[in-house]
Amino acid sequence: MIQEGDFVIFKKAELMKIFPVKRDKPFIIDRFKIKLDNLIEKPFGYKYEIKNQQLHLFQNDSDEDLNKKMMADKDNRNLIDNSGNQKLSHDQIEELKKTEDISGNEIIDRLIENSASFNQKTEFSQEKYIKKKKEKYLAVYEILKPTIRSLCEYYTLGNHKRKILNMRMDTLSQILTYSNVAAYRNVVVLESCKGLILASVVERVAGFGNIINLSPNGGHVGTKDILDYMNFPPEYTKNLYNFPLERSDKLPEYIQELQRKISAATDDTFKEKQMKKLELAEKVNEFFKNKNIDCLIVASKYRPLPIVEKLIDYMSPNGNLVIYSLIQEPLIECHSFLKRTKKAIHIELSDSWLREYQVLPERTHPKNNMDCCGGYLLTGITVLDE
Residues near other proteins (CB under 8 A): 1, 42-43, 45-46, 60, 63, 66, 147-149, 169-170, 172-174, 176-178, 180, 182-185, 203-206, 208, 294, 316-320, 328, 332-333, 335-337, 339-340, 342, 345-346, 348-357, 359, 361, 364, 376, 381-386
Q: How far apart are CA 47 and CA 39, in angstroms?
A: 11
> Are the CB atoms for 377 and 352 separated by under 8 Å?
yes
Toward other proteins, which CB reaches closer, 150 or 259? 150
Shortest gap between Cβ of 356 and other proteins (angstroms)? Answer: 5
Shortest gap between Cβ of 122 and other proteins (angstroms)? Answer: 21
Q: Pairing state of beta strands 186-191 and 293-299?
A: parallel
Q: How far apart are CA 187 and CA 256, in angstroms?
A: 25
Toward other proteins, which CB reaches closer, 76 or 177? 177
Edge-to-edge strands, sheet with 293-299: 240-244, 210-215, 186-191, 293-299, 315-325, 376-382
Question: 211: closest CA among 321, 293, 306, 307?
Answer: 293
Q: How far apart are CA 107 and CA 234, in angstroms?
A: 48
> Are the CB atoms for 304 and 325 separated by under 8 Å?
yes
Shortest gap between Cβ of 150 and other proteins (angstroms)? Answer: 9
Toward other proteins, which CB reaches closer, 111 or 144? 144
Toward other proteins, which CB reaches closer, 32 or 44? 44
Shortest gap between Cβ of 90 and other proteins (angstroms)? Answer: 33
Shortest gap between Cβ of 42 and other proteins (angstroms)? Answer: 8
Toward other proteins, which CB reaches closer, 76 or 341? 341
Toward other proteins, which CB reaches closer, 54 or 350? 350
Question: 213: closest CA among 229, 225, 202, 228?
Answer: 202
Shortest gap between Cβ of 253 and other proteins (angstroms)? Answer: 28
Q: How far apart are CA 145 and CA 18, in angstroms?
A: 10
